[in-house]
């Protein structure tokens, strides 16, 4: 008989992820609700994370990320071969046009950006903000969802509202259009200053991440944007 996944380890990682994403201290009952597990189990997981420094309990018996998680985050970022290899490429994309450059990965129904911004702005390096964003509202999320088997996408969204889509059918139709054309496009959105659009293409075969240009003026041809993204990937040997 083949080895079975370790459910305790899976729950522990999910618990840690929810803790990091929460943005505020979380009690065991709230964590149990988020993970859909018994409060006793949630309490045990949080106490274990506190014991090894990945969580920290306050006087109200609520938990927030502990000091060890920050060490782990720094080690992960600096140890990431993907981040090191993609950084020059993303900076190059930023030099091509004055648009926002992003790179992100898919986790269930959310996208996490580890790079987002204009590389040449204020001489800084636009590391991702770390917060997750609904994949169904992100060009990066949509292009990565479209790369998954349909059965997997259905499993991810089972029993959930699909952010940005009134009907599930519209969402699945959009994923099929993305599969056909090879890129995702978010329609123009009004803002106080301008109306823009954004595009994303997947990275890798099978895809493990995606890159995007956003804050693109409407008069820029769609084909120009997609060609820039795909040419960049080919130039650096990523696709």
The three-class DSSP label of residue 100 is strand
Domains of the chain: 7-71 (1.10.10.10), 80-235 (3.30.450.40)
Terminus-to-terminus CA distance in the chain, angstroms?
37
CA atoms within 13 A on the CB side of 237: 2
Residue 30 CA to residue 13 CA, distance in Å, equals: 16
What does the pLDDT read at residue 163?
94
| pLDDT top residue among 61 and 117 | 61
Whole-angstrom distance, CA of residue 56 vs CA of residue 9? 19
| Residues 5-30 as b or e (16 or more Cβ within 10 Å = b) | eeeeeebbebbbbebbbbeebbbbeb
30 contacts 15 by C-beta, under 8 angstroms: no
Q: pLDDT confidence of 2, banded at 50, 70, 90?
A: low
Cα separation, 140 vs 161, whole angstroms: 19
Percent of the chain with pLDDT over 90: 65
pLDDT digits (tens, 9 = 90+) for 47-60: 999 999 999 999 99
For 182-234, give the DSSP string.
TSEEEEEEE-SS-EEEEEEEEETTTTSEEEEEEEEETTS-HHHHHHHHHHHHH
Per-residue confidence band for 227, with pLDDT thresholds at 50, 70 and 90: very high
Q: How many residues does the chain have?
A: 239
Among the residue ranges 123-137, 162-176, 195-209, the one predicted with the least confidence is: 123-137
Q: Quote the DSSP letter at residue 122.
A: G
Tens digit of pLDDT for each residue in 78-117?
A: 777 777 788 889 989 999 999 999 999 998 899 988 888 8
Look at residue 22 and give its three-state secondary structure. Answer: helix
């Amino acid at each position: 008989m083949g080895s079975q996944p370790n459910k305790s380890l899976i729950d522990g990682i999910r618990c840690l992820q929810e803790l990091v994403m929460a943005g505020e201290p979380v009690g065991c009952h709230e964590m149990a609700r988020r993970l859909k597990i018994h409060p006793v189990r949630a309490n045990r997981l949080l106490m274990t994370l506190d014991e090894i420094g990945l969580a920290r309990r306050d006087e109200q018996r609520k938990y927030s990320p502990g000091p060890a998680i920050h060490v782990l985050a720094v080690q992960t970022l600096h140890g990431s071969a993907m981040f090191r290899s993609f950084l020059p490429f993303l900076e190059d994309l930023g030099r091509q046009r004055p648009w926002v450059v992003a790179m992100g990965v898919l986790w269930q129904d959310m996208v996490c950006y580890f790079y987002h911004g204009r590389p040449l702005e204020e001489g800084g390096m636009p590391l991702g903000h770390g917060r997750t964003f609904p994949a169904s509202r992100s060009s990066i999320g949509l292009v990565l969802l479209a790369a998954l088997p349909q059965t997997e996408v259905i499993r991810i969204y089972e029993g959930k509202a699909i952010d940005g889509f009134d009907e599930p059918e519209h969402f699945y139709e959009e994923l099929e259009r993305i599969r056909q054309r090879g890129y995702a496009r978010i329609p123009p959105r009004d803002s106080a200053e301008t109306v823009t659009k954004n595009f994303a293409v997947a990275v890798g075969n099978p895809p493990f991440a995606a890159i995007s240009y956003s804050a693109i003026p409407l008069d820029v041809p769609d084909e120009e944007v997609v060609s820039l993204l795909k040419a960049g990937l080919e130039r650096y040997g990523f696709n």
